[in-house]
Chains A and B, each alone.
Chain A
Amino acid sequence: MKTHYQSKESFTELFNRTHLIVFRYIYGLHGGTVQDAEDLTAETFLRGWRARRSFQGDEDAAVSWLLQIARHLVIDQYRRKRVRPDEVDMKEDSAGSMSPEANFVEGEQQRKLWTVIHQLPAEQREMLVLRYTLGWRVNQIATHMNLNENTVSVTLRRILLKLQESWLREEQSHEGA
Chain B
Amino acid sequence: MKEHESDEMEIISVIQAFQPSPTELFYRQIAAMPWNVEDKRPIRRWLLVAASITLIVAAFLTVPPLRTLAQDVIDSLFNRADGDAKTNTYIAVAPDAEYDPYSSLEQAAAQTSFPVSTPTIMPDGYFFEGAVWDGDQSAIFLSYIYGGGGRSLQITETTHAEIFREIGASTNIETVQIGDLTGEYVEGEWVVYDRPQGEAGETVTEEATWNPTAPSRSLRWQHGDITYEIWALGGSEDDPAYIGKEAMIEIAESMQ
Contacts and interface: CB of A to CB of B under 8 A. Distances in A.
Contact of A15 (B30, B97, B165): B30
B158 to A, nearest CB: 11
Contacts of A89: 191-192, 195
B197 A94 contact: yes
Interface in B99-141: 99, 101, 124-125, 127, 132, 134, 141
CB-based closest 10 A-B pairs: A72-B149, A87-B190, A51-B147, A68-B149, A38-B26, A97-B197, A39-B97, A132-B15, A11-B35, A8-B35
Contacts of B195: 89, 91, 94
Interface string A43-74: 00111111100110000000001001111110
Q: How large is the interface on A (under 10, 10 to 19, 20 to 34, 35 or more residues)?
A: 35 or more
A132 B97 CA distance: 26
A110 B98 CA distance: 28
Nearest to B165: A86
A32 B99 CA distance: 15
A128 B11 CA distance: 11
Interface residues of B, number: 59
A167 B11 contact: yes
- B17, B18, B26 interface centre (most CB from chain A within 10 Å): B18
Nearest to B215: A88
Contacts of B214: 88, 90
B156 interface: yes
Nearest to A104: B20
Contacts of B191: 87-90
